[in-house]
Structure 1
């Protein structure tokens, strides 16, 4: 994108010849800003990955376009002149505006109207949410184990919403997204129906000290929270298999590992879900959205209802909630 600032020069009042010059572009304003921020041409060249002579020559061409010197340079560095301050002030307004325009344009180009684009990590809400919305609006989905990837896609306009999660005591992710807490859930364990704890109403984390473990991958703090919970229970966890859901399920079914799972999980045949006594691990279901995402009130409501439906489909969790108020779907 270019800013077309034309500049002509006449040598005499009666001679109005104009001479062609280059157009000022956003990249030129970035150079001016970088030199000012770095405090010297040499430092700016290093940041921009350019040779200093090349940046110096570019700066001189920019100064010719703008009609004067932009920086006073000496052994102490580079300081903006009055003209440089003027150009720098405009650059600090124009560059963010151009970036916002580009992001909005990308978002507009990728937005199927009038539908929703929803990303999600492994969780209980996406299927129910899509089912509820798709009856009236078009929905496209994208899944990833990386919450950071999904958050970035929403920030850059490639998705409208993201369904993800965080440990119970963790804050919402930083960035430009707007967040709603959909639920606060305990973490349960998934074991083989032949496991000695399979018939228990709940099991203490310390009672599983000798087990091997399986979890699905993620880029949050859950691994650290699990290690901390085990330390509080008086042991260090053994082998931890980080793998996909089918492999976790297989390892639990054959008795090779105990799987950490969300309380809304629906156990497959041959598996039993058992609550952990005292809820030493908690998980918050989160819905993040772009500030311009369509119909947020509806999507938040439908996400909470989808979670509530998932709780009702889990007799183990529903029974646990009767004994442990304060968890479950948020109001």
Structure 2
């Protein structure tokens, strides 16, 4: 099962690097595992291309058999836990949530714990929105809070319905606190950052494509380095890079959060729900508590609060 899950993860993410992060492994370890699997089946399962890993004809054949096995095993484990009472509570009182990174998540979970004290609430984080939506479709999650970058639509699988939390959330930029853009107290044009090194996480669905479109529209070709957003803050504070960020991001010593002039980069915030999941009131509670948490962090983020104050009141106008 471990080998089959690894193959599906590589196929689903289109990248050994992304699959390794999803599985909690290092990329070299997953590469070694893939080689062993290919040796066992007697052929190459993926073509390693510049844009990622794509299944070979043999790979597609193996994946066709692997996916039903994984789905059946997942359902078997779920039913066994329900029967044994190992899920922390009986059937119908579990809530399985997932999300890409957001400062709204802790408040969301806190509200749900208060609202549903007898419910066993579990949480899954992943940088890939598409992966989380597939988990909803596969009955591994009940709901997932994800973002969709403009121009890079998510692949919404059958069995998932979407609710729009925010129609358009502008993306800001994190810059060193000593940068002129931070001291100016105004939105900064992308062209003003043409000489900076930009850091982007290519494993986050749509982020790199969206940023490239912004660069092209501004007529610039800045230096780009790849990394993860968890370490980006330290590099920004050290004056090494600038990086796109959510408007709800908080400044920190050495780092400031600045809007981009004209809001050229935006995302849509969505909640993916498993079709037919739970009573309508339960799904409404999940959505309403997330909305309240998002509004809270939006107002507590200095740069975003100022940005919102220039739009119509009351409250964040981007909220549905």
TM-score, normalised via structure 1 length? 0.64
Mapped partners of 1:189, 1:102: distance in 2: 43
For residues 124-155 of structure 1, the C-alpha deviation after alignment (integer angstroms, 9 at most, x for no partner) is 32211101101233311111122232222221
Cα distance change on mapping 1:107 and 1:155 into 2, 3 Å: farther
Tell me the equivalent position of 1:18: none
Q: What is the correspondence of 1:229-268 to structure 2 with a 5 Å cutoff?
A: 229-245=214-230, 247-268=231-252
Larger proportion of helix: 2
**Which whole-Å CA distance do the structure 1 matches of 2:75 and 2:312 have between them?**
43
**Aligned partners of 1:181 and 1:218: how far apart in 2?**
23
Name the SS for the 1:122 alignment partner.
coil
1:48-83 Cα deviation digits (max 9, x unpaired): 78xxxxxxxxxxxxxxxxxxxxxxxxxxxxxxxxxx
Q: Deviations over 1:170-195 (max 9, x none)?
A: 44532121111111211101111111
Give the number of aligned pairs: 237
Corresponding residue of 2:103:
124
Matching of residue 185 in structure 1 with residue 169 in structure 2: yes
CA contact (8 A) 2:129 2:154 kept: no
1:139 aligns with 2:139: no
After TM superposition, give the deviation of residue 108 of structure 1 in Å.
4.7
Query: C-alpha separation between the residues in 1 aligned to 2:248 and 2:235?
Result: 20
The question of 1:203 aligning with 2:185 is answered no
Establish whether residue 162 from structure 1 lines up as the match of residue 144 from structure 2: yes
| Alpha-carbon contact 1:148-1:219 (below 8 Å) kept | no
How far apart in 2 are the matches of 1:257 and 1:104? 45
Q: Which runs of 5+ in 1 are unaligned?
A: 1-46, 50-98
Structure 2 runs not aligned, ≥5 long: 1-59, 63-69
- Are the equivalent residues in 1 in contact too, given 2:71–2:138 (CA < 8 A)? no
Given that 1:185 and 1:284 are in contact with CA atoms closer than 8 Å, whether structure 2 keeps it comes out as yes
Find the counterpart in structure 1 of residue 4 from structure 2.
none
Are the counterparts in 1 of residues 177 and 255 from structure 2 also a CA contact under 8 Å? Answer: yes
- How large is the Cα RMSD of the aligned pairs? 2.8
TM-score, with length taken from structure 2: 0.67
Tell me, in whole angstroms, the C-alpha distance in 1 between the residues paired with 2:272 and 2:286: 11
Larger Rg: 1
